[in-house]
C-alpha cells in the first residue's frame, strides 16, 4: 500500500501526468475505447472518462478522436504511448512476483561447497537425479574448508554447502541430509569377535595394538 501511495503521487516532469494517467493512456490507445479501457483497468466508465478528460487537459490534445473506422489515437498521443509503453512494462516486471522455480525447465549453474567424501557419497546420486528430472541444471563444486562459508552463502556466490557444521547462523537455512555411524568389520575367527565389542574395548585394543614396539 505504501508503494501504491507513493506511485499515485508521482508526476512526470510537472506535466500533470501521474502513473495512473499513464496507465489510462496506454489502455485507451491500445483498446481505442473508453469502455474497454475501463474494463481492462478494473475501473468504472465514468472514472475512465474522467481520466481521458485529464489527459486531454494535460496534453492539450484530444488523445482519441472519432473516425469512420472507430476511435483512433492522435499522432501525439500515439507517439507518447509508444515511448511510455516500455517504461510501464519495465515497472510491471520490477514489481511482479518472481516466477516459481521449475527444475524441469530451469537452465542455470549451482555452486556447491563440499568435501571429497561428500562428493563420493552424494554426488553420483544427485547427478543421476538431475539428469532425469532437471537436465538444464549444472553443478559447480568448490572445496569446503573447515568453517562454514557464511559470507559466500549470504552473498549468493555459493548456493549450498554440504558437510558437518557445529553451528549455523540464523541467517541461513539448513537441514539434516543424513546421519552416519561407524562399523567395525573383522574376520569371524578374530579374537575380538568372541564377545560383544564395545567402544571401550575397541579403544583399549586399538591403543594396545598401536603402541610402538620397544
The three state secondary structure string of the chain is CHHHHHHHCCECCCCCCEHHHHHHHHHHHHHCCHHHHHHHHCCCHHHHHHHHHHHHHHHCCCCEEEECCEEEECHHHHHHHHHHHHHHHHHHHHHCCCCCCCCCCCCEEEEEEECHHHHHHHHHHHHHHHHHHCCCEEEEEEECCCCCCHHHHHHCCCCEECCCCCCCCCCCCCCCCCCCCCCCCCCCCCHHHHCCCCHHHHHHHHHHHCCCCC
What average pLDDT does the segment 187-196 reach? 82
User: According to the model, what pLDDT value does residue 74 have?
Assistant: 92
Mean local confidence (pLDDT), 111-133: 91
pLDDT exceeds cutoff 80 at 80: yes
Q: Is the pLDDT of residue 157 over 60?
A: yes
Whole-prediction pTM value?
0.47
Q: What share of the chain in percent tops pLDDT 70?
A: 89
Residues above pLDDT 90, as percent of the chain: 36
Which pLDDT does position 47 carry in this prediction? 93
Is the pLDDT at 72 greater than 60, yes or no? Answer: yes
Strand intervals (E) in the chain: 64-67, 70-73, 108-114, 137-143, 160-161
Which domains does the chain possess?
2-95 (1.10.10.10), 108-161 (3.40.190.10)
In this prediction, residue 19 carries a pLDDT of: 85
Amino acid at each position: 500500500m505504501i508503494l501504491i501511495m507513493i506511485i499515485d503521487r508521482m508526476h512526470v516532469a510537472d506535466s500533470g501526468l501521474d502513473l495512473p494517467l499513464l496507465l489510462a493512456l496506454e489502455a485507451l490507445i491500445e483498446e481505442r475505447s473508453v469502455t474497454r479501457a475501463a474494463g481492462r483497468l478494473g475501473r468504472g466508465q465514468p472514472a475512465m472518462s474522467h481520466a481521458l478528460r485529464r489527459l486531454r487537459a494535460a496534453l492539450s490534445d484530444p488523445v482519441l478522436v472519432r473516425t469512420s473506422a472507430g476511435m483512433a489515437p492522435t499522432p501525439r498521443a500515439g507517439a507518447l504511448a509508444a515511448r511510455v509503453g516500455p517504461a510501464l512494462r519495465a515497472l510491471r516486471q520490477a514489481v511482479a512476483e518472481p516466477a516459481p522455480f521449475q527444475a524441469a525447465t530451469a537452465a542455470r549453474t549451482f555452486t556447491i561447497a563440499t568435501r571429497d567424501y561428500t562428493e563420493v557419497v552424494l554426488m553420483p546420486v544427485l547427478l543421476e537425479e538431475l539428469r532425469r528430472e532437471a537436465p538444464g541444471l549444472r553443478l559447480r563444486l568448490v572445496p569446503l574448508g573447515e568453517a562454514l562459508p557464511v559470507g559466500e552463502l549470504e552473498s549468493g556466490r555459493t548456493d549450498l554447502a554440504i558437510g558437518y557444521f557445529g553451528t549455523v547462523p540464523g541467517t541461513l537455512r539448513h537441514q539434516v541430509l543424513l546421519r552416519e555411524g561407524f562399523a567395525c568389520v573383522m574376520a569371524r575367527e578374530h579374537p575380538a569377535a568372541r564377545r560383544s565389542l564395545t567402544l571401550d574395548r575397541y579403544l583399549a585394543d586399538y591403543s594396545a595394538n598401536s603402541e610402538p614396539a620397544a
